[in-house]
Structure 1
């Protein structure tokens, strides 16, 4: 006769249960303590751990008036088709604020009945968005990557999202199987000439909807932090006027793509200015403001999901 073995609960099991009772069951911390047979202080710590470990995703159903006003102002200023502004979280990572709003926008697109090709960039904001997406069945859509997924050491790029979101929404996906940035232009061109890569690139260029992060070119540039460029390369591009990047492609303060630096070796598909379909930027934070403004100015992006503080700063410039 078989028997089901039950392992002892782990600290994360306890945190998940406490988080469920608090956020879904509506229990107070005293009630959770009584339910689980623990102290109130431990119940409080477990609820906090559930949130800190990402076991709980919170979405705000009420649209705050100040955020709505900022959305309207951004739409008017930049002619945006889609705009969402989330309440800021003080000194916390702004990705935590914008990820639920970005996930809601992606879910809205995935629930559309007509088959669409959805192109995705990479990065922390996109990873946050995908982690916040609720599982659903969107098998009639196609997901395609705009950017290579191979890091300089040959490993998969940590912030690549295409396979993660595909698993969640059961949609076919088309990864860009090239380095994010090749060592030489000749190597980049050789990758581009491969038949499967050409087909994925063509699919990305014709995408019906685009979701991208917006990277800054300051000292905390994602391209530098993630090892895709050296300090010397970053300094060279900044000397040439680099202000930001989208899908690895670097542009100046007017949103014009540069012909120097890593742009001569970038492997993915460039998001062109003034697309006639949604190109939604997902970004927030003080250091990203110049890059976001440049991308909005040239209409590399024609939609934006950001937070209150970033929105106010953009509008004040």
Structure 2
């Protein structure tokens, strides 16, 4: 440990544990007050100090209860709501990732198979995970992740971060998520290694995933997998995707010919997993989240307050249409 590490720890303990002011800490350790401020910032950067705001609204609020009332009959049992006031999508995703990581850390036990998808939200969860000592945990990639374009899925880095957090072994799918034709996909899936990973995905104890909205700029639609005709079919029929399986507003497979070429856990298989953590937010995803919940794809939900409010409002209007007039 370097001298700066030791000084920053000393300053942090005096400031945070003993309640001294920065000026008092400076006098105690014989440095200037600006140096103390730098040492405290350094302690945060090094992970010696972790500041956590515990917002009780994330776990218990009228909004939480409303979501459980609406979706409880579909299997939803736990809701955590991000109370962020940020309008920036990246900031919303980062906060969803932070809460998603906290929920997942409590769900994973020794010996568990943990299924993980990829995407910006899953990457945010991965980056927010704190290390917890575990034995026998295996992280299973739920879908292929290679891209035919320059847009990165961060699938391998996401898996690696999950493994580091849970002392886990990785079971990966080094494949594109959608193949050009069914025959090639079936041939690849017959490989013993690939077949084993796919089967492990179907047997996972916990899955953590997100849902995407269907818009021309969304990642799953811009990875070089789809023809122009398929692109139009999906944007015309689908309201969202889970693990790159596109679904309609009624929860049906949107384009069967594309679904047949998709590598990874199916929507039906996903719904059978005992513990399903859905981490998703953003108003543009409201319909996709609503449909996924009604499909029974989540036992646990992490969502932002604005999107949660929209779901409750939409449910109220659908049950009381006269309120909209």
Greater C-alpha Rg: 2
229-238 or 205-214: which moved more? Answer: 229-238
The answer for the alignment partner of 1:105 in structure 2 is: 103
SS at match of 1:83: strand
Cα distance in 2 for partners of 1:230, 1:109 equals: 39
Q: Distance in 1 between matches of 2:87 and 2:63?
A: 20
In the alignment, the residues of structure 1 paired with residue 26 and residue 288 of structure 2 have an alpha-carbon distance, to the nearest angstrom, of 47
In structure 2, relative to structure 1, the CA distance for the partners of 1:66 and 1:122 (3 Å cut) is closer
Higher helix share: 2
| Residue correspondences, number | 299
Shift of 1:271: 3.5
* Superposed structure 1 runs of 4+ greater than 4 Å apart: 20-40, 54-58, 153-156, 225-232
TM-superposed CA distance for 1:280, in Å, is: 1.6
Alignment of 1:55-94 (within 5 A): 59-64=52-57, 68-79=61-72, 80-92=76-88, 93-94=91-92
2: distance between equivalents of 1:233 and 1:130? 31
- Change in Cα spacing, 1:116 to 1:66, as seen in structure 2 (3 Å) is closer
1:282 to 276, 279, 294: 279
Taking only aligned residues, the RMSD between alpha carbons, in angstroms, comes to 3.8
| Kept after mapping to 2: 8 A contact 1:285/1:310 | yes
CA displacement at 1:77 relative to structure 2: 0.8
User: How far, CA to CA, are the matches of 2:102 and 2:206 in structure 1?
Assistant: 15
Unaligned 5+ residue runs, structure 2? 315-325
Give 1:151 deviation, angstroms.
2.0
**Partner SS for 1:147:** coil
Cα distance change, pair 55–267 in 1 and its aligned pair in 2 (3 A):
farther
Contact preservation (8 Å) 1:74, 1:83? yes
Structure 1 stretches of 5 or more lacking a match? Answer: none
Name the CA distance, whole Å, in 2 between partners of 1:304 and 1:298. 13
- 1:252 is aligned, of 248, 253, 274, to 248
Q: Distance in 2 between matches of 1:181 and 1:171?
A: 27
Q: Does 1:188 align with 2:181?
A: no
Q: 1:123 to 1:251 in 2, by over 3 A?
A: same
Contact 1:142/1:171, CA 8 A, preserved across alignment: yes
Task: Summarize deviations over 1:80-120 as a string: whole Å, max 9, x none.
Answer: 1222112123213311221121111111122x35x221111
